[in-house]
Amino acid sequence: MKTASRASSLTRRKLLKASAATAALAAFPAPLIAQTKPFAGVTLHGASFQHRFFTLLQKYIPEFEEKTGMKVDLQLSALPVYNQQANLELSSGGSAYDFVNVTFTLATRWIAAGLLANLDEFTGDANLTPADWNPKDFVDGAQVPYRDAKGATYGYSWEGGAMLMGLSRMDLMEKKGLKIPKTFAELQQVCAEINGTDGVSGLVSWFLHNWNLPPYIQGFGGNIFRNPPGDPMPALNTPEAIQGVEFYANLLKSAPKGGLTYTEDQARQAMLTGRANIFIHSSAWVTPILLSDESKVKETSRVVRSPAGPVHDYPASNSQGLGIPKNAKNQKAAWEFIKWALSPEISMKLVKEHGHSSVCRRSIITSDDYRKLNTVNGQDLGALYLEVLELPGKGENYMAYRTSKEFPIVGDVLNKAFEQVATGQLPAKDAMNAAQDQAIAALRRAGTKL
C-alpha cells in the first residue's frame, strides 16, 4: 500500500515536470534559446596577474556567464609568474589562453613579434561591437602601448597608473614656511629641510629604480634610449642622464634608513603613518594618504602633480591591457569577455560599488559620480590622474622607453648602476659610462642591431 502510494506520487511529480518542460519549450523555441546564450558550452580560458580589478570582476563573472552561456576560467598568478607563463605560452604559439593580460612592459615585444590578435577587426565590426562601447573612450595615453607602428590596437587598458606626488606632513612644511615643490630644485630643498624634523624623513621611495628614476633623467632633458622605439641605442651616459642619476641619488639621502631597498608597501606605510613626507609614485600608491582608513595623516596631506625638471615635465604613467592571443581558439568569446569587462557599465560599477578608481575610460573618470568619490579635502584626484595618464598620448610619447622591447635589459643595467651611485660605490659619471657599455653589450648579445 505504502509502496503503491509512493509510486503514484512519483508519477504525478514526473507528469508535472514534463508538463512544465513542454510549456517552456513551447514558449521559447530551440533557435531562440541558442540566440540568447550565444556562447553556450564554451569554456573561456584567460590569465592575468593578481590585481584588485580581477578580484572585484570575479564577483560579476557569474552574471556574464549566465548572460552568454560561456564558462570563464580566469587564472590569476603573481606578476612575475604570470609574465613568465604568458611569455612562454605566447612565444611557443600555444592556444591555452583565449584572453590574456597584455603586461605594459611586455606589450611592444608581444605586438612586434605578432603574438596578439588585432582588435581593430573586432571593434570595426558592428555585429561584434556596438557603437556605444566606443573604443575612443579609453584615455589615449593609456592606449599608446597597445598599438603597433601602423596604429592597430592589440589591447584595451583595464588599469592605469599615473605618477603623482603625495605630501603627508604639510603641517611641518607650513611651520617651516615651505611651499609645495613645483620644480626639482624646490623638491630637493623641501626634502632636505624636512628630513629629520620630528623624526620624519624628507622622502620615501622604493626599489624599482628604473621606474622612479627616468622622470628625473627626462626632466633634465635625457632619455633611456636615444630615440625610442625606433632607435634603441641606450643613452645612459649622456650629461642629462648623469645629472638625473646624481639628482635622484642625492634626493634619496632624505629617505629613511634602508630606503634604497624599500618595497612599495613599506614606502606606502611610511607615508600613511606620517614617517615620511613625500612619496612620488603611481596614484594608487599615493592617494591612500587621503583615501585610506589606515591613514593617520588625512588632515595634513596633499596630492599634487610631481615636480617638473628644468627641461621637461614628464611624470611616468602606465597601464595594463587585455588582449587576445593570435592563436586563441575562442577569439569571439574572448572579445565578448573583454567588451563586457571593460564596458562603461562594469567600470562604473567598480567605481561606485568598490571605490576602484584606476579605470581608463574617460567618460567614467570625468563623470560626476567618479568626481564625487575622488574629491577629498577639495582635491580632485581624478582630474590629476587623468591629466597625467593622457600626457604620453599628446605629441611625443615620452613613455615609449618603457615599452621598448629592449627596456628589460637596459632597465636592469640602469637599476644596478643607480644603486652603485646611491651607495657611493661609483661616481655617477663612471657608473653610467660602465652602464652604457654593459647595456650595449647585453643588447648585442640578445641580438639587437645597434
Partner 1 sequence: MERRRFIAFALTPSLIVLFAVAVLPAIYLIVTSLTPFQLTTPGSATDFSDPFRNYALLPGDPRFVNSLAVQAKLSVASVLFQVLLGMLLALLLNVPSRFVEFARTFFLIPMVLPPIVVAVIWKLIYAPDISPLYYAAQALHFTLPALTSSVDFALTAIIIADTWEWLPFTFLMVLAALQTIPDEYSEAALVDGASKLQIFWYVTLPFITPILVISGMFRLIDSVKAFPLIFLLTGGGPGTVTEVTNYYAYLLAFDTNEIGYSSAVTVVMLLLVCGISLGLVWMGRRKEALA
Per CB under 8 A, residues contacting partner 1 are: 80, 83-84, 87-88, 91, 109-110, 112-113, 115, 207, 256-261, 266, 270, 275, 405, 408-409, 412, 415-417, 419-420, 422-425, 438, 441-442, 445-447
Compare residues 62 and 427 and give the one whose CB is closer to partner 1.
427
The CB-of-17 to partner 1 minimum distance in angstroms stands at 53
Element (H, E) at 60: helix 52-68
- State the residue for C-alpha cell 649622456: 238
- Residue in 185, 234, 242 with CA at minimum distance from that of residue 217: 242
Compare residues 7 and 112 and give the one whose CB is closer to partner 1.
112
Cell of 136: 575612443
Cell of 64: 556574464
E strands in 261-403: 276-282, 302-305, 317-323, 375-376, 379-380
Cell of 333: 568569446
Compare residues 328 and 409 and give the one whose CB is closer to partner 1.
409
The CB-of-62 to partner 1 minimum distance in angstroms stands at 35
Compare residues 229 and 408 and give the one whose CB is closer to partner 1.
408
**Cα torsion 397, 402, 407, 411: sign:** positive
Widest pairwise Cα distance in the chain:
101
Q: For residue 277, how many other CB atoms are within 10 A of its CB?
A: 30
The CB-of-327 to partner 1 minimum distance in angstroms stands at 13
Q: For residue 338, how many other CB atoms are within 10 A of its CB?
A: 23
Distance CA 304, CA 286 (A): 10
Compare residues 110 and 340 and give the one whose CB is closer to partner 1.
110
Compare residues 64 and 207 and give the one whose CB is closer to partner 1.
207
The CB-of-272 to partner 1 minimum distance in angstroms stands at 13
The CB-of-427 to partner 1 minimum distance in angstroms stands at 13
Compare residues 87 and 183 and give the one whose CB is closer to partner 1.
87
Contact 291, 379 (CB under 8 A): no
The CB-of-317 to partner 1 minimum distance in angstroms stands at 22
The CB-of-91 to partner 1 minimum distance in angstroms stands at 4
* Residue 369 CA: distances (Å) to CA of 56, 136, 364: 19, 21, 8
The CB-of-197 to partner 1 minimum distance in angstroms stands at 17
Exposure pattern of 165-192 as b/e (b: 16+ CB <10 Å)? bbbbbbebbeeeebebbeebeebbebbe
DSSP labels, 138-172: B-HHHHGGGB-TT--B--EEEEEEEEEEEES-HHH
Compare residues 15 and 446 and give the one whose CB is closer to partner 1.
446
The CB-of-87 to partner 1 minimum distance in angstroms stands at 5
Cell of 329: 581558439
Compare residues 333 and 414 and give the one whose CB is closer to partner 1.
414
